[in-house]
Structure 1
Amino acid sequence: MTIDPQLVELLSVMPEDLFVGDAATARATIDAGIGLLPVMTELARVEDRTIPGAVDALPARIYRPSEQPDLPVTVFFHGGGFVIGGLNSHDALARRIARHAECVVISVDYRLAPEHPFPAATEDAFAAYRWVLDNAAELGADPARIALAGDSAGATLSATTCLLARDHGLPQPALQMLWYPATGVEDTVSRAENAHAPLLTAASIAWFMSHYFGGREFDEMGPYAQIGTIEDLSGLAPAHVVLAGYDPLRDEGADYAERLRAAGNTVECELFEDMVHGFMSFVDLIPRCEECASGSFAALHKALHP
């Protein structure tokens, strides 16, 4: 199966070789493009604030689909290889989550590398989840119905936060929504097969990892740096894993889903053969991307509105 034709057309106008220079240049290029996109999903209220991080306060954006009290909450971590991305880059996706899952969304702007290498993002994600557990009621939300969601690096942070919550004795979320996660398993068919795939190539993965890990080896940094190799995956939240056919991370995401299932967790896994890494960012622009997103939005709604 080939990549969806409309997606191919959109990708053809995107800049090439974006992830070869410094992080600041890549961020500026992406921010300039995002500024041209209209807001497609109107909500009752969207507000910016700060929440406590592991070290300093973190910018966060709170999305409310309605003023109804005691709505469930989704804590959302954006993608971007732990180097790029932020509240604005994933505003459209956060709005869609709020609308389709009928929940408050708290989008967290965790610290980025190379200024803040591993484990800064992991620590901030866990701190944000801990804060939401303790303060959901202050937000007018239901502390008993909290989900974690993220795409790419954000999916990795969601999965890692579930592991950290288990290991620190905190409650698991109602669902971990993992859109094409990176797990650190490098020797896969899809990494070789999609080394030159759109949006995420082998070279761009190396660029992200060099910024995030600073040349350190995985075994120097502990298990949370490479969650795909953690032996004990028991006692974790139900997972919904979404994969793209033309994605270097496809196989490691599939393997992680299977290992979660084998450890006794509830897992649903979707693979869209005609999609590329990052396709959830185009749900407002490409009908096929919106179609592929529908199952995960429905799963999130079901988990939060049992």
Structure 2
Amino acid sequence: MPLDVHAAKVLEMIRLSGRPPYETLAPAEARQFSRNARAVLAPEPPEMGAVRDIKIGEGGAIPARLYRPLGSAPNAALPALIYFHGGGWVIGDLDTHDVVCRQIANGSGAAVVSVDYRLAPEHKFPAAVEDAIAATAWIAAHGATLGIDTARLAVGGDSAGGNLAAVVALDARDRNGPKLIQQVLVYPATESTMSHPSHERFAEGLLLTRPTMKWFLGHYLRGAEDLADWRVSPLRATSLADLPPALVLTAGYDPLCDEGEDYAARLAAAGVPVTRVRVEGMIHGFLTMGKLIPATNEAVAMIAAALKIAFAR
């Protein structure tokens, strides 16, 4: 299938804007470009029942943002999605993914807790993993103070955030952590050796290129030895059995497409209920581009619908 015409227009806009490739920038500069893109690519933030910034984790060390859907009763204990934003573990924050979290909350009728985990290179692996695990455990233990039903928790994220969500689910299984009833993995990074064929098919010319992916990993990892750690590459986990049901969404024109689909196939082979969806013609990062790409809003609605079903089980 050809590249989606709306995605092609986004790529052309980026080219005409003169935005330098991330791998030519310092991390702080790249973060600012990422924040600036929000005004161009994201829809207007929808009205919510409530939105507030909070501190979670031991000692309130981890910033987060709590969303309650429009029309929800203020005192109702809602199911919740714990969300980890994308950005290669280097860029992205609560604001870059604010609209997506709002849309998912309103569409699913659930709360969303967006977690602002520590970023590299200031905080290299495993800092982001530690924050994601700690945030999930803290929310499960303190849900009552947040108006959350801790018997109905899900984890999710896009790209690097999808990686973190997958790792949190594995860690919760292995260390008797919070019981999770769903994982939502949107074009997740699951094998960081960049060895799947899609890394060659889409090495250049798209939003996420091979040099950009190397730049992200170079900032995130302490050294090449980290590549073998399943917390970097969850495809390397010994077993994917007994994990929560998963929605795995990939993009047809994405270097991470094959590793995401490989992870979904391994989940299914291990007996985990999996819904696999490839958004044909779409580029990496499209989840935050709903102002210009109609397929984005369809994907977000699909995520919200899957969560609504999972939380009703």
Query: If the TM-score is normalised by the length of the shorter chain, which range does it land in?
Result: over 0.9
**Other-structure match for 1:96:** 103
| CA-atom RMSD in angstroms | 1.7
**Other-structure match for 1:148:** 155
Q: Deviations over 1:214-250 (max 9, x none)?
A: 333236x633222111121111110100000100000
Q: For the Cα contact (< 8 Å) 1:136–1:143, is it kept in 2?
A: yes
Comparing 118-127 with 32-41, greater Cα deviation is found at 32-41
Deviation at 1:85, TM superposition (A): 0.2
1:256 aligns with 2:260: no
1:9 aligns with 2:9: yes
CA distance in 1: counterparts of 2:99 and 2:34, whole angstroms? 14
CA distance in 2: counterparts of 1:205 and 1:248, whole angstroms? 9
Gaps of 5+ in 1: none
1:125 aligns with 2:132: yes
Q: For the Cα contact (< 8 Å) 2:230–2:237, is it kept in 1?
A: yes
Q: Secondary structure at the match of 2:152?
A: strand
Moved beyond 4 Å, runs of 4+: 35-38
Which AA in structure 2 matches 1:62?
A: L
Deviation at 1:294, TM superposition (A): 2.9
Deviation at 1:64, TM superposition (A): 0.7
Give the counterpart of 1:52 among 54, 57, 79: 57
Mapping of residues 75-86 of structure 1, within 5 Å? 75-86=82-93
Q: For the Cα contact (< 8 Å) 2:158–2:186, is it kept in 1?
A: yes
1:31 aligns with 2:39: no
Q: For the Cα contact (< 8 Å) 1:64–1:98, is it kept in 2?
A: yes
Identity of aligned residues (%): 42
CA distance in 2: counterparts of 1:229 and 1:25, whole angstroms? 33
TM-score, with length taken from structure 1: 0.94
TM-score, with length taken from structure 2: 0.92
Deviation at 1:295, TM superposition (A): 2.4
**Other-structure match for 1:245:** 252
Question: How many matched pairs?
Answer: 304
Comparing 10-19 with 276-285, greater Cα deviation is found at 10-19
**Other-structure match for 1:188:** 196
**Other-structure match for 1:162:** 169
CA distance in 2: counterparts of 1:112 and 1:240, whole angstroms? 26
Q: Secondary structure at the match of 2:300?
A: helix
**Distance change (3 Å), C-alpha of 1:45 and 1:284:** farther
Deviation at 1:38, TM superposition (A): 5.9
Q: For the Cα contact (< 8 Å) 2:198–2:256, is it kept in 1?
A: yes
Q: For the Cα contact (< 8 Å) 1:92–1:284, is it kept in 2?
A: no
Which AA in structure 1 matches 2:123?
A: H
